[in-house]
Structure 1
Amino acid sequence: MHNKFTNYGQPVTDDTKIKNFKEKIDFYISKGFFVIPCKDKIPQLAGWQKEQDQTTDDVLDLIKSGKANQIGIRTDKYFVIDVDVKNNKNGLESIKQLSKDLNLDIDNTLTAETRSGGKHYFFVKDEDVTIQNQVDLLPGVDIRGKNGFVVASPSDGYSWINPQTKPKLPTKDLI
């Protein structure tokens, strides 16, 4: 696996990084996202799939203690097309073809780059629509929906490509 980040999996102890986590957690919570403290992509919060109250300090305390070294975003109000470039699968090629087939403007929705060089494409959905998690929808392409999550910035290796862009409503063909 591509890993250009030497401190992946290590506790977050640097004051600047902790401040960055605090700012991102505050921002995500203010935008209605549910933030999941994770350690090496594993949620560290019991019952994270269920609706519950949350504060920045709840998440930050787990990061400061070393019990978490990443944050994730629960994919309940949104769904995410998770595109990987690993394990001999090039999801970027798969999603390029899907975008062409469905006339989907995938590059104009909220997008993050992942640690492997892949991407997370965020889409809004109607409240009454349930999007299930799907693995290998296409080679290197998964869907994160109900009871799912994706790791997010400022976790090592994750960054927003276009942080000012709002998630788009996809075409009905995609859903």
Structure 2
Amino acid sequence: MALDRWIALCLLGLCILYGYTAWFTMDASLAPFMRRNPIWPSTFPKVLSVLGISASFIILIGLEKGEEKIGEIDHRRLGDYFLGQALVLLGLMVVYALCLRPLGFLFSTSAFLIVGSFILGERKLHVMIPVAFIATGAVWYLVQEVLGIFLRPLPIFVGV
């Protein structure tokens, strides 16, 4: 079996476990007044589990490949697939998560977008920096002001 199908099989197991948790264990602990609501806290996890199970089945059956032959992933030649970039990006995600609270959302997210796009090969700083700042500012404004969820915009030592 190809590597993509093995990954789909693992994801299918995770989605089934996630779905079981969302459908059966999360709803049991709801307060009585919340049981009359049309949307419960478990609604989004239920939708995610159904979508994940569907996508995993599509990959397992092979429907996503269609008529044209897409090259299989050769696990013996993983070095040819930019594995270094992927691992550096995963490390950058971990650093981003660790820096989010002490350095603030605006600085951490902008730095993550700039360094991440540099790792992926973008070299036009005059495009990369404004796009990162605009995207970060827009997301912060939507989450903070529109949704009303507090995101620490500046580092802790600034005192906001």
**Rg larger in 1 or in 2?**
2
Higher relative contact order (CA 8 A, sep 6+): 1
Q: TM-score, normalised by structure 1?
A: 0.26
Write 1 or 2 for the structure with the bigger share of strand.
Answer: 1
Structure ranking higher in helix proportion:
2
TM-score by length of 2: 0.27
